[in-house]
Amino acid sequence: MAYIIAVSNEKGGVAKTTTTYSLGASLAETGRKILLIDLDPQGNLTLANGIEPGKVANTSNDVILSGLGIKEALCKTSTPGMEIVPSSPALVDAEQHLPVRSNYAFCLSNALRAENLPYDYVLLDCPPSMGAITYSALTAAELLIVPTQAEYFSAYALRDMMTLIRKVRRDSNPRLAYRILITLLDQRNRTHKVIREQLEQTFGSGLFQTVIEIDTRLRESPIIGLPITQYRPNSRGSQQYRVLAQELIDYVQQQKDSQSA
Ligand code: ADP
Ligand code: MG
């Protein structure tokens, strides 16, 4: 059974999509089988994989709203071992239609568990909102990764994420764990340093030890249509996402060991 990870933060521009793409590719490099699902109507992850949103027949919108099997919506990526379910601009409508349905929170969870999917990790790239789609992603996930910048307003916005996590745990997914990931870090920036220390004090082991620093290569890679690990394999961004992948693999292994002990 694949390990399902939601990448979410209600703030835009905090590197959700960059993290989904780069972490997915780093995990794929280790020989693991990866599925990315683009749940953002803006379709940045879809575009970064060279697929034009709105030009593909089957999308995550069909999986969520029409019960289409995930296997029917798969597209290849340039990374061996990594596939994607693309998004569609129609997902904007899903955000409105979903909540009317009973048990809508489980639509993704059910879709992911209905088929025997041959993946080690499934990464869900969420839209920058706390609507029905994000809620269904958090209900499906074992782990929520919350990318955040070391900026005052970003750190503040984490309060809302924590409230949402408590609600999901109470109502639909008691097992949901989370890890905060500091992204777009500038080590020379004093404010970043202070906020990073505050986040460490507040969240302790709820924070990934790995941080992702600013690297302009990460801005270029989606334009080229390749993940950073292929576009600039030796860049700092590549290295840090690989370290993150290893930290994640170790964490998941620890969870499995403690469950079977
Ligand atoms: P989100 O999905 O949360 O809206 P994105 O992943 O699209 O955020 O990132 C927002 C912008 O920041 C994009 O232009 C992306 O290329 C850029 N970016 C993300 N991470 C980094 C980084 N570590 N260094 C430099 N630019 C980055
Ligand atoms: Mg995004």
pLDDT 10s digits, 3-62: 999 999 999 999 999 999 999 999 999 999 999 999 999 999 999 999 998 899 999 999
List, in sequence order, every residue forming a beta bridge with 84; answer none if it has no partner: 36, 75
Whether 112 and 2 have beta carbons less than 8 Å apart is answered as yes
The pLDDT, as a whole number, for residue 125 is: 98
The pLDDT, as a whole number, for residue 260 is: 86
The pLDDT, as a whole number, for residue 78 is: 95
Helix (H) or strand (E) holding 217: helix 216-224
Longest dimension (CA), the chain: 50
Is 187 exposed, middle or buried (CB count within 10 Å of its CB: 0-12, 13-18, 19+)?
exposed
User: Best substitution site from 126, 181, 183, 219 to test ligand 1's pocket, by max atoms within 8 Å of Cβ?
Assistant: 219
Q: Tell me the CA–centroid distance for residue 113 and ligand 1, in Å.
A: 31
9 Cα nearest atom in ligand 1: 3
The pLDDT, as a whole number, for residue 53 is: 87
Q: Give the number of other Cβ atoms within 10 Å of residue 111's Cβ.
A: 22
The pLDDT, as a whole number, for residue 219 is: 97
Instruction: Find the ligand nearest to 222 CA.
Output: 1
Amino acid (1-letter code) at residue 128: P
Q: Tell me the CA–centroid distance for residue 13 and ligand 2, in Å.
A: 7
- Tell the residue nearest (CA) to atom 22 of ligand 1: 214
Q: Tell me the CA–centroid distance for residue 13 and ligand 1, in Å.
A: 6
Low-confidence ranges of the chain (pLDDT < 50): none
The pLDDT, as a whole number, for residue 54 is: 84
19 Cα nearest atom in ligand 1: 6
The pLDDT, as a whole number, for residue 83 is: 98
By the CB criterion, residues less than 5 angstroms from ion ligand 2 are 16-17, 44
- Which residues line ligand 1 at a C-beta cut-off of 6 Å? 12-18, 44, 128, 183-184, 212, 214-216, 218-219, 237
The pLDDT, as a whole number, for residue 261 is: 82
Hey, what are 1's tokens?
């059974």
Q: Tell me the CA–centroid distance for residue 18 and ligand 1, in Å.
A: 6
Length of the chain: 261
Q: Tell me the CA–centroid distance for residue 78 and ligand 1, in Å.
A: 20
The pLDDT, as a whole number, for residue 131 is: 94
Q: Tell me the CA–centroid distance for residue 219 and ligand 1, in Å.
A: 6
- Tell the residue nearest (CA) to atom 17 of ligand 1: 219
Where b means 16+ CB within 10 Å and e means fewer, 55-71 reads ebebbbbbbbbeebebe
